[in-house]
Structure 1
Amino acid sequence: MNATSGTTTEARKSKIIKLIENQKNVKLIFTEYAGHGAEISKRAVAEKVDKVIAVGGDGTVNEIARELIDSETALGIIPIGSGNGLARHLKIPMKVEKAIQLAVSGKTVKIDACFLNEIPFFCTAGVGFDANVANEFAKQKSRGLKTYAKMSLKYFRTYKPQTYLLEYKGHEMSKTAFTITFANAAQYGNNAMISPDSKIDDGLIDLVVLKPFPFGAAPIIGVRLFKGTLPNSRYVETEKGTSFRLKSEEPLLVHFDGEPHQLSVNEVDVTIRQQCLKVVC
């Protein structure tokens, strides 16, 4: 459990802890530092533990899930984060009591994992405006959709679309984009459906290019994002594939599952491994 995740109050967290501790055959461990969840998960795989249940947001889920790839140890999720993108895609209940019950006793399925220069992600990764907002959001003391929306509005007017070189299916083309997203799941989180047709077990990456658009179109694009109709916009291009390469003139600032990361390189390869992670859902 990441006790500092999301917007949950201390009283709510205490209740969650008690609910988990009342479960049979469950050991609760608190993450104490960055990377601790990965260490716990790696040890669980070596000890052939049935499940590792992530109690937290998408960052906690990603850190734990990456160590369970290609293992027999399943991932469970109790979502208490800001966006909960993977949990929402998998239709895991947002009510903690139901999520605990499912995580402890539910059945498993296998899902895909994507990789951005070998960095695993399970929902989305990308560059552009979203990566810049994620970078600023990570610096804020308060979390949640309200803070994310505030950061988005703050940087929207000043952000300048970038030009990238995209390679896929033997073709190379230049794209000037507001954002470029590589989607394994349908949404960023908070039901913001960047790629509503994405399937998490089909072995395909969905490329979503949001082209530059006038300021007046922003509210319509926002509505489409949350209604799941963004691909219908004339400012959006989509493509499916098993691998993509993206290049830029500058070292790339990327996001993966909502976490920002400044790369030292200006080129990324995005790949997928089909049905390599067991998940309770």
Structure 2
Amino acid sequence: MIFLFAINPVSGGSDKAVWEEGIHNYFANLPHTVHQFYFDGKTDDETLRQQIAQHKPDRVVAVGGDGTIKIVATALLNTGIPLGVLPAGSANGMARELGIPPDVDGSLALLVNGVPKATDILSVNDGDVCLHLSDIGLNAQLVKHYEQNNLRGKFGYLRGVINVLQKRRLLRVSITVGDECVQRAAFMIVLANARMYGTGAVINPDGDPCDGHFEVVIFRRLSFWEILKLFWLYKPFDPKKIEIFPATSVTIETHRRAYFQVDGEYRGRITTLKAVIKPGALLMLVPAA
């Protein structure tokens, strides 16, 4: 087999030497061809497509976190080429979601011995790709604050939570799922194609990125303690304070502009959010059952 490794050298702010050494050692005596290249943060999409066209790999491997996975996944949609993951980033939510081992040896072994699994993605507003979680409202505002202030670590996140909670406001929204339209006041609405955020916070306990649908999770009440429980201690949220609607498509309209994020990346403020599931559009290497 031909493997193409897409390495993000700055993902997670850590040196990738351990992962690169692991790749070299693991494949040294195996009958596989290995190619690798590095993202530069400027021409990643174009470079990745050129590398795929040049080497015609059987498997493409993202070496980094959720952001790196998303870049590679977008290029592999509907190609039939499986995506492998070496979880070398600061946020490895997708790897955790799919049961990919966090260690070097375990995740490398999975590249050879794992099985391709058809995985859903969400197409969000003008073709933006969502692999696991998008939302409007409080968490998206937190993502914006986190990015703007270059915060790091749990205490940086706590500072962000305190700042955002002081400014929190209810959103008045109209949500259309299938033939049903509901009006709600909510602090946050999540489009969940998976169970958890990259931080490990479980937002949708019954989520499954391979089941052909997603969940619309509406947070109608949010106290400071509940936010800390969810995003700091990673404890389950009180199910009495949320509503969950299974969906294959959704349209959400807000009465005022709402903060919006996709897979941990802030996208601005919007008044309309549309999403549709693309079942099995991405093949990902996962442990054999």
Normalising by structure 1, what TM-score? 0.88
Aligned length: 273
Partner of 1:15: 18
Instruction: Give the strand-richer structure, 1 or 2.
Output: 2
Partner of 1:106: 114
Q: Which moved more, 1:77-86 or 1:194-203?
A: 77-86
Q: Structure 1 residues 140, 218: closer, same or farther in 2, change over 3 A?
A: closer
Contact 1:221 1:233 in 2 (8 A): no
Counterpart AA for 1:113: I
Q: Structure 1 residues 107, 134: closer, same or farther in 2, change over 3 A?
A: same
1:118-137 alignment, distance < 5 Å: 118-137=127-146
| Unpaired segments ≥5 residues, structure 2 | 1-6
Q: Structure 1 residues 94, 243: closer, same or farther in 2, change over 3 A?
A: same
Say whether 1:43 aligns with 2:50: yes
Q: Structure 1 residues 107, 215: closer, same or farther in 2, change over 3 A?
A: closer
Aligned equivalents of 1:240, 1:142: Cα separation in 2 = 34
Normalising by structure 2, what TM-score? 0.85
Q: Runs of 4 or more off by more than 6 Å in structure 1?
A: none
1:247-262 alignment, distance < 5 Å: 247-262=253-268
Partner of 1:272: 277
Aligned equivalents of 1:77, 1:162: Cα separation in 2 = 37
Aligned equivalents of 1:107, 1:217: Cα separation in 2 = 38
Q: Structure 1 residues 278, 259: closer, same or farther in 2, change over 3 A?
A: same
Aligned equivalents of 2:264, 2:119: Cα separation in 1 = 19
Aligned equivalents of 1:142, 1:80: Cα separation in 2 = 20
Partner-residue secondary structure (3-state), 2:216: strand
Partner of 2:252: 246
Contact 2:202 2:230 in 1 (8 A): no
Aligned equivalents of 2:225, 2:146: Cα separation in 1 = 24
| Unpaired segments ≥5 residues, structure 1 | none
Q: Structure 1 residues 209, 119: closer, same or farther in 2, change over 3 A?
A: same
Partner-residue secondary structure (3-state), 1:52: strand
Contact 2:121 2:129 in 1 (8 A): yes
Cα shift readout 1:15-58 (whole Å, capped 9, x = no counterpart): 2222223435222211012450x224433554532121111111
Partner of 2:8: 2
Q: CA RMSD in A?
A: 2.3
Partner-residue secondary structure (3-state), 1:109: strand
Counterpart AA for 1:106: G
